Amino acid sequence: MSGSLMPAGPSAVVSGLGTCLPPRVVSNEELSRQLDTSDEWIVRRTGIRRRHVIEPGSSTSVLATEAGRRALKSAQCDRADAVVLATSTPDRPCPATAPEVASALGLGPVPAFDVAAVCAGFVYALATGAGLISTGVAQRVLVIGADTFSTILDPEDRTTRAIFGDGAGAVVLRRGEPDEPGALGPFDLGSDGELAELIMIPAGGSRQRATGVPAAAGGEYFAMQGKPVFKQAVIRMSESVRRVLALAGWSVGQVDRLVAHQANSRILSALADHLTVPHDRVVSNIDRVGNTVAASIPLALADGGLQPGEKVLITSFGGGLSWGSTVLSWPDVIPG
Asked if residue 227 binds ligand UT7 (CB under 6 A), the reply is: yes
In the complex with ligand UT7, the residue whose CB is nearer, 34 or 254, is: 34
Cα–Cα distance between 332 and 184 in angstroms, integer?
14
Cβ within 8 Å of residue 22, ≥6 positions away: 52, 53, 54, 55, 58, 63, 166, 167
CA separation, residue 55 to residues 31, 90, 91, 100, 334 (Å): 16, 16, 14, 20, 28
H or E stretch covering 28: helix 28-34
Instruction: For residue 126, give the nearest of 208, 165, 182, 202 by alpha carbon.
Output: 182
Is there a contact between 103 and 122 (Cβ–Cβ < 8 Å)?
no
Is residue 52 part of the annotated active site? The answer reads: no
Segment interacting with ligand UT7, rule: CB under 6 A, options 42-50, 122-130, 206-214, 272-280? 42-50
Q: Does residue 90 have a cis peptide bond before it, meaning omega lies within 30 degrees of 0?
A: no
Q: Does 265 bind ligand UT7 (CB under 6 A)?
A: no
Concatenated DSSP letters of 74-134: HTT-S--SEEEEE-SS-SSSSS-SHHHHHHHTT--S--EEEE--GGGHHHHHHHHHHHHHH
269 near ligand UT7, judged by CB under 6 A = no
- The interface region with ligand UT7, picked from 16-24, 109-117, 155-163, 322-330 by CB under 6 A, is 155-163
Residue 67 CB, nearest distance to ligand UT7 (Å)? 19
Q: Which of residues 292-321 bind ligand UT7 (CB under 6 A)?
A: 318
Q: 28, 52, 119, 264: which one is catalytic?
A: 119
Least distance from ligand UT7 to the Cβ atom of residue 172, Å: 25
Q: Kindly state the number of chain residues that form the binding site for ligand UT7, as judged by CB under 6 A.
A: 20
Among residues 117, 141, 229, 282, which is the contact residue for ligand UT7, using CB under 6 A?
229
The strand pairing partners of 176, in sequence order, are 11
* Catalytic status, residue 261: yes
Binding range to ligand UT7, per CB under 6 A, among 16-24, 63-71, 76-84, 228-236: 228-236
Q: Nearer to ligand UT7 by C-beta: 19 or 264? A: 264
Name residue 324's beta-bridge partners: 189, 316
Q: Which residues bind ligand UT7 (CB under 6 A)?
A: 37, 41-42, 45-46, 119, 158-159, 162-163, 226-227, 229-230, 233, 263-264, 267, 291, 318
Enzyme catalytic residues:
119, 261, 291
